[in-house]
Structure 1
Amino acid sequence: MTDRPRIGFIGVGLMGHGMAKNILEGGYPLTVLAHRNRKPVDDLTSRGAEEAASAAEMAEKAEIVFLCLPGSPEVEATVGEILDAKGATTTIVDSSTSNPVSTRALAERCREAGVTLIDAPLSRTPKEAWEGTLDTMVGASAEDFERVRPILDCWAGKVVNVGETGAGHTMKLLNNFLSLGYASLYSEALAIGAKNGIDAKTFHGVISGGRMDCGFYQTFMQYVVERDRDAHKFTLRNAHKDMRYVVSMANESGIASHVSSSVKNGLATAEAIGRGDDYLPMLSDVVAELNGIAVRKNSTE
């Protein structure tokens, strides 16, 4: 038996699977909800998790529910189910990348129902999710932050309280704007280089280890140079969604969105031509192909 609260986890996909696994390994009783892919749920139940048939059923059992969903529409619908159930859930932690405007409105709705909403979006990749070394930026009061901190520590190596509810999603979008902006820059620079006699390996040999190097650059180029499709598992569809949120936030703030709109439009083009399920480093292929540049299919070509 344990005196630890039962945790619910909705959204055990690429990121959520590892996060939920680490919550279990941290000694917390866990209930999970299946979505499109049974494999993560089967793995987690084999490790001791229970499975709920619906968000409402989970709300009857879990005191704290984590969400790791595609975006705000899914979060809004799921939070609505949890609140309508009027069950045991007193805290919802949204680890999705959501629109802060929606998050703040949901927080007020939760408050009226006696439930606390915390936003704790993620940075890094499924590899770090599995290893328990994700970064998370948390929107919560100081008291609520300290209350959920031990659970966050199960799956995160860096945990920062960035302000009240909604601040986590705001900071996450700014973080993603930087990374997706870099992806767009890398892709265009590589295309310009290819048209002018500089191949990807040469480009990488100059940038790697220099002042413009970083962890994101390395995973991006791991695909470009080595053709490792799993180097950075973040879809262009999700990237486009995040940049729509960034541009929306800029517009609502009265900020001219010259750069963010350009990044968003490049990702919108990628999704429109059927590449939404490709991973982010494959944006380099999209930009190359749109400019008439032949793309290598594997590392030996």
Structure 2
Amino acid sequence: MTHSQETIGFVGVGLMGHGMARNLVEKGYPLTVIAHRNRAPVEDLLGRGATEAQSLEELASRSSIVFLCLTGSPEVEAAVAAMKPGLKRGSVIVDCSTSDPTSTARIAEDLAGIGVDFADAPLSRTPKEAWEGALDCMVGAKDEVFRRIEPVIGAWAGKIVHIGGIGDGHRMKLLNNFISLGYAALYSEALSLSRKVGIAPETFDKVIRGGRMDCGFYQTFMACTLEGNRASHKFTLANAYKDIRYVESMANAATVATTMTSAVKNSFASAVAQGGNGPEDYLPHLADFIARANGID
């Protein structure tokens, strides 16, 4: 099968998936999607030329490559189980979620028994880059599977790195998120301490911005604090908490002490326990929860 003959299924057209799917259909790939809770992205994609499946089994039967962009491993496992009767031998499922590598390996082994390949291709960056087709993607896949899916991933990714075998993409994604979520916890606590000792966020930012501690993540995070842009980084605290638990689990399995991981996890656990588990409780809002815990408005 040539790349030009691939038919694409997409499960999970949410904050990230909508932009990814839009790039696939607008760059000429036949695309089948399925609705979940929110029909608005599906209607938009249908207007661009996609078709809608009424079940995951139907979506699988129409697709040579299926992309999953879901919350985590339980949702991925459920979706794969529902698709399994419709999957064609020789097709590929590509999991773009941030998932547990142990689950990834188990799913891949199960699908190999019916002649279906599995790859993990988690993402980095934000919904803005998803819409622009400029996401970063780290891929765990057999070499021949990577060669097949790389040009399709290229429809929505600007940077693609083949990390290694199945599960290695998810392992690298967890390392990536450990660093980014660690930044979020550090920024949040630093901002609280800054306020407590009488240094305004604007003054704090004048020192950090443009210096060696500045980065793109810092800028989207601080847009909430400085500009009041509550949607500057649309990644939920609940998802962040899930991801850092996966990091801790991976470290436990590898017999690595989790001094920093557990400290970051506890920052997010506290925020979620205080009610920061809604669909619009985003990553930069962690600073609010840490501030309140320290008696700061």
TM-score of the alignment, normalized to the shorter chain, above 0.5: yes
State the TM-score, normalized to the length of structure 2: 0.97
- Give % identity: 59
Which deviates more from structure 2 when the two are superposed, residues 63-72 or residues 264-273? 264-273
Give how far 1:84 is off: 2.8
The answer to whether structure 1 residue 11 and structure 2 residue 7 are counterparts is: no
Contact 1:120 1:136 in 2 (8 A): yes
> Residue 178 of structure 2 aligns to which amino acid in structure 1?
F
Partner of 2:291: 288
Partner of 1:35: 36
Q: CA RMSD in A?
A: 1.1
Alignment check: 8 A CA contact 2:56 2:79 kept: yes
Alpha-carbon shift at residue 3 of structure 1 (Å): 5.0
Cα-to-partner distance string for 1:127-178 (whole Å, 9 max, x where unaligned): 0000000000000122111111111100000000000010000000000000
- Mark the runs of 5 or more structure 2 residues left unpaired by the alignment: none
**CA shift for structure 1 position 88:** 6.4
Matches within 5 A, 1:1-301: 3-87=4-88, 90-277=91-278, 278-294=281-297
Aligned residues: 293
Asked if the contact 1:122/1:136 (under 8 Å) is kept, the reply is: yes
Summarize deviations over 1:26-71 as a string: whole Å, max 9, x none: 1100000111110000000010000011111111111110000000
Where in structure 1 do 4 or more consecutive aligned residues deviate above 6 Å?
Answer: none
- The letter of the residue matching 1:184 is A
Write the letter of the residue equivalent to 2:233.
H
Distance (Å, rounded) in 1 between the aligned partners of 2:88 and 2:140: 24
> How much does 1:87 deviate?
3.9
Unaligned segments of structure 1, at least 5 residues: 295-301
Does structure 1 retain, via aligned residues, the 8 Å contact 2:178–2:247?
yes
SS of residue paired to 2:247: helix
AA aligned to 2:153 is L
Looking at structure 2, the residues matched to 55 and 77 of structure 1 have their Cα atoms a distance apart, in angstroms, of: 10
- Partner-residue secondary structure (3-state), 1:117: strand
What is the DSSP-based 3-state SS (H/G/I as helix, E as strand, rest coil) of the residue aligned with 1:161? Answer: strand
Change (3 A) 1:197 1:154: same
Local SS of the residue matching 1:165 = coil
Counterpart CA distance in 2 for 1:89 and 1:58 is 15
* Matched residue type, 2:186: L
